[in-house]
Amino acid sequence: MTTTSRWRSARTYLGVALIVVWGLAPFYWMVVTAFRDLQFTFDPTPWPTHVTLDNFRTVFDTSRNHFGRSLLNSVFIGGVVTAIGLVVGVFTAYAMARLRFPGKNAILAVILAASMFPGVALVTPLFQLFRNIGWYGSYQAMIIPDISFVLPLTIYTLTAFFREMPWELEEAARIDGATKRQAFTKIMLPLAAPGVVTTAILAFIAAWNEFLIASQLSNDKSQPVTVAIASFNGTQPHVEPYTAVMAAGTVVTIPLILMVLAFQRRIVDGLTAGGVKG
C-alpha cells in the first residue's frame, strides 16, 4: 500500500462518513425529539434524554387530531392510486418496451410532459368542479389528481425495467406452443415481478408524500397524513407542539424507511432507470 492510495482511501471513508451523517443526522434528531418530554423540547443533548411515549399518545389522541384516521386515509389513497397506476401502466409499458409502432416517441413525450405537469394547475379547476358535483373532501377528489403524476411514473419506470428483460424467453415459449398471452402471463410476468414491485413502491411513496392537492381538496375526514402533520394541534395553546410533530413525522416515515431498507437496491435501480439507460 503506497501512502497515496492509503490517503485516498482515508479520504473516501471521510467522504462516506459525511454522506451518512448528511442523510441520517436530521432524521435521527427527529426520532430523538419524538421520544423527548415536551418540557425538554430544546434539550441539545445528542442522545435520547427525558424519554417518554407521551408524544405518541398526543399524536393518536382523537380528541385533538385525526392522525390515526389520516394514516388510514393515506394508506387507502396510496393503495388505490398505486393499483390504478400499475394496472394501466403495465400494458403501456409493455407496448413501449417491446413493440414497434408509429407515434411511439410522441406518446413517450406526452407521458413525460404529463409527469412534469405542475400539480397546482390541476387544483384550481378541480376544486371548483369537485365542489359543484359534491366530491370535495371525498377520496376520489384526491385519487383522481394523484393519478396524474403516478401513472407517468409507473409507465416510465416499468418501461425501463421491461427494456432490460430477457425477452428471448418469450419467443422460446411461443416456439413451444404458448400463445402470446400465455407467454406474457406465464413466463414474462413472473420475471417482471421485481420491476413491478419496485415500481409499486415508488408509486406508493409518491402518493403517500403528496401534499399540495390533498391540502386543497380534502377535509378533516379524508385528509392524508401529510396534511394532518402540517396542521397539527398540540396539548397547549400557543406552544408549538414540536415533540408531538416529530413523533407524528416518525410514525409517517417509519414505513417508508422500512421499505427503503428492504428494497434499497431496487429503489435506486428504479429511480435511475430511464434517466441514464438508453
Q: Binders of other proteins among 149-178, rule CB under 8 A? A: 151-152, 155, 159-160, 164
Site string for other proteins, 213-232 (x = CB under 8 A): --xx--------xxx-xx-x
Instruction: Check binding of 88 to other proteins (CB under 8 A).
Output: yes
Instruction: Check binding of 274 to other proteins (CB under 8 A).
Output: yes
Q: Find the binder of other proteins among 7, 15, 83, 185 (CB under 8 A).
A: 15
Total interface residues for other proteins by CB under 8 A: 102
Instruction: Check binding of 7 to other proteins (CB under 8 A).
Output: no
Instruction: Check binding of 253 to other proteins (CB under 8 A).
Output: yes
Least CB distance to other proteins at residue 11 (A)? 9
Instruction: Check binding of 267 to other proteins (CB under 8 A).
Output: yes
Where residue 42 falls (left for φ over 0; alpha for ψ -120 to 50; beta otherwise) is alpha
Instruction: Check binding of 195 to other proteins (CB under 8 A).
Output: no
Site string for other proteins, 24-53 (x = CB under 8 A): x-xx-xx--x-------xx-x---------
Helices 140-163, 242-272: crossing angle, 10 deg rounding = 30
Q: Find the binder of other proteins among 89, 161, 173, 187 (CB under 8 A).
A: 89
Instruction: Check binding of 212 to other proteins (CB under 8 A).
Output: yes
Give CA–CA dist 15/8, Å, rounded.
11
Instruction: Check binding of 247 to other proteins (CB under 8 A).
Output: no
Least CB distance to other proteins at residue 55 (A)? 12
Q: Find the binder of other proteins among 1, 101, 181, 190 (CB under 8 A).
A: 101
Instruction: Check binding of 272 to other proteins (CB under 8 A).
Output: yes
Instruction: Check binding of 192 to other proteins (CB under 8 A).
Output: no
- What single string gives the DSSP state of each residue in the chain? --HHHHHHHHHHHHHHHHHHHHHHHHHHHHHHHHTB-GGGTT---SS--SB-SHHHHHHT-TTT--HHHHHHHHHHHHHHHHHHHHHHHHHHHHHHHH---TTHHHHHHHHHHHHT--THHHHHHHHHHHHHTT-TTSSHHHHHHHHHHHHHHHHHHHHHHHHTS-THHHHHHHHTT--HHHIIIIIIHHHHHHHHHHHHHHHHHHHHH--HHHHHH--TTT--HHHHHHT---SSTTS--HHHHHHHHHHHHHHHHHHHHHHHHHHHHHHHTTTS--
Instruction: Check binding of 20 to other proteins (CB under 8 A).
Output: yes
Residues of span 111-150 touching other proteins by CB under 8 A? 111-114, 116-129, 144-145, 147-148
Smaller CB separation from other proteins, 49 or 91: 91
